[in-house]
Amino acid sequence: MNQTNNGKTILEFKPVNKDNFLWSRTRENMNLIPVIAFNIDPVLVHLGPVEIRYYGLMYVLGFIVAFLFLRKLSKEGFFKFSYPEISDLLFWLFVGLLIGARIFYVIFYNPTIYLQHPLSIFAIWEGGLSFHGGLAGVIFVAWIYSKKKNIPFLHLGDSMTLVAPFGLFFGRIGNFLNGELYGRITTLRWGTIFPNGGPYPRHPSQIYEALGEGLLLLAILWLAKTKVKHTGIISALFLICYGIIRFFIEFFRLPDVQLGFIIGQFSMGQILCFAMIIAGGIIFYYARKGRFGLIGN
């Protein structure tokens, strides 16, 4: 099955001979393995010298949906901000996310390349953003904002984490459309051949993450919202659940080539997720004791 856009192949489903890639001998009765050949142009539209990419569009969609749901929380009285304040907050959170995500990626994931080509640090549209760095940037901006507005930091954190999965969902779809952060080699029928991933079918781990870190995490947090009474628990659950989900999916995702595995068979992402789980557990412990007050107070 082919889909085309202006004569260019978008997705092509084709068989791959089992003798051409790893693990072929584990399925002796299978002669052909249908896979998806991925060839999506990351540029949505060209406007003269300006390119509008799916990657950037997904981030914008994530923040638009987050804005709409923060308005909903504001109407419910859960999030005590006016609409202009929400817009202002999201703008600065967006800035903090981009700066933090890029700085972390440059420092922890590919410092050698960026030392050799320092101007490439600013080419965010080419990819290369760290979720954990983005989280650190958002936390830093939220902390400053909470001080400025004289509101409890974790009250702000609970509201932000309720809408964060929307951004995670659209962000991972953006990774998929950008043909990056793909998974390890697989014999599964939805294995995908990415342009930069070699000739072998790979796990579309970006989709796994969109479903896990996005939709599943969203369902967990909004269910918790109807049950919990103490400030900080939702923030803690975000850290714990995201860390667990991402830690598991990392076993299907190809580690960054320049880093490989850091400790044993664990990637940098898994190590950072482990730290998230510990931090979330500490916050959860104190939140359950009422250290940060009740929601709505």
Residue 27 has pLDDT above 60, yes or no: no
Model pLDDT, residue 258 = 64
User: Is the residue at 192 inside a domain?
Assistant: yes
User: Is the residue at 208 inside a domain?
Assistant: yes
pLDDT in tens, 44-97: 787 877 777 787 788 889 989 999 999 999 888 888 788 888 889 999 998 998
User: Is the residue at 244 inside a domain?
Assistant: yes
Please, which pLDDT band fits residue 296 given cuts at 50, 70 and 90?
low
* Mean pLDDT estimate for the chain: 82
Model pLDDT, residue 178 = 84
Model pLDDT, residue 92 = 92
- Number of other residues whose CB lies within 10 A of the CB of residue 4: 10
Q: Domain containing 223: what range?
A: 2-288
More confident residue, 30 or 202: 202
Q: pTM (2 decimals)?
A: 0.80
User: Is the residue at 160 inside a domain?
Assistant: yes
pLDDT in tens, 161-192: 999 999 999 989 988 988 888 999 998 989 99
User: Is the residue at 293 inside a domain?
Assistant: no
Residue 206 has pLDDT above 70, yes or no: yes
User: Is the residue at 297 inside a domain?
Assistant: no
Count of domains forming the chain: 1
